[in-house]
Chain A
Amino acid sequence: AQSVAQPEDQVNVAEGNPLTVKCTYSVSGNPYLFWYVQYPNRGLQFLLKYITGDNLVKGSYGFEAEFNKSQTSFHLKKPSALVSDSALYFCAVRDISRSSNTGKLIFGQGTTLQVKP
């Protein structure tokens, strides 16, 4: 069964410092991986995805994620954090267990990113 894990409930970073939000996955076959962000009282917004190709994926708002097959990880990164990046971040994997293309996403439990001025 496909699954994702986000080992940290919360990540605290000072503004201007680099940030990393961790995600590991477990899939059978090639993984389709995603990052979503949720700002307070809002729905989730798509940040970036990895389907195939370059292991470093660039997304919205200056975020990027590095796919590492040997470590089964897909960590979210940003070189210089902003206070406005403070939000809840979800890693997700596409559920490919069914024969039909339902495109269901399996989400991790979420990591709260707190960027302090």
Chain B
Amino acid sequence: NAGVTQTPKFQVLKTGQSMTLQCAQDMNHEYMSWYRQDPGMGLRLIHYSVGAGITDQGEVPNGYNVSRSTTEDFPLRLLSAAPSQTSVYFCASRFWTDSDTQYFGPGTRLTVL
């Protein structure tokens, strides 16, 4: 199993540009989520999904959109990037029945100029 994969690893955007961060998992996990990691703030939940076709907001959803058309993929879209979205983004997944153990991807480091 590849586990949780994320692309790209690094990205630089200009303010106002849009982009999609990709996340995929091959473990047949129902639950997937996106976090952002900022110094001194830990990880904060952006959006999550409990299954294909179902998404919900986390604690910092503004400026981000998600969709879940398949079990495997959970892309995160930035419609109009802002410098405040400079961060490291982590995707995570787990089984619905095992809410205790999440598997994290390697992260995407995003810089918005």
B-binding residues in A (CB < 8 A): 9, 32, 34, 36, 41-46, 49, 51, 90, 94, 101-105, 107-110
Of B41, B42, B99, B106, which is within 8 A of A101 by CB?
Answer: B99
Q: How far is the CB of A9 from chain B (nearest CB, A)?
A: 7
* Secondary structure of the B contact surface, majority rule: strand
Contact of B94 among A32, A41, A103 (CB under 8 A): A103
- Check A46 against B48 for contact (C-beta < 8 Å): no
A43/B106 in contact, CB under 8 A: yes
| With A9-B40, A90-B43, A94-B99 already in contact, 18 other A-B pairs whose C-beta atoms are closer than 8 Å | A34-B100, A41-B106, A41-B107, A42-B106, A43-B104, A43-B106, A43-B107, A44-B102, A44-B104, A45-B104, A49-B100, A90-B42, A103-B31, A105-B45, A105-B102, A107-B35, A109-B42, A110-B42
Q: Which chain B residue shows the least CB distance to A90? A: B42
In the complex, the answer to whether B48 meets A43 with C-beta atoms within 8 Å is no
Which B residues form the contact surface with A (CB < 8 A)? 4, 31, 33, 35, 40-45, 48, 50, 56, 58, 90, 92, 94, 96, 99-107
Q: How far, in angstroms, from A94 to B102 measured CA to CA in the complex?
A: 11
If over half of A's interface residues share one DSSP class (helix, strand or loop), that class is named, otherwise mixed; here it is loop
- B56 in complex: contacting residue of A9, A41, A90, A102, CB < 8 Å: A102
Nearest 8 Cβ contacts at the A-B interface: A103-B99, A43-B104, A107-B42, A107-B43, A44-B104, A109-B42, A43-B106, A43-B105
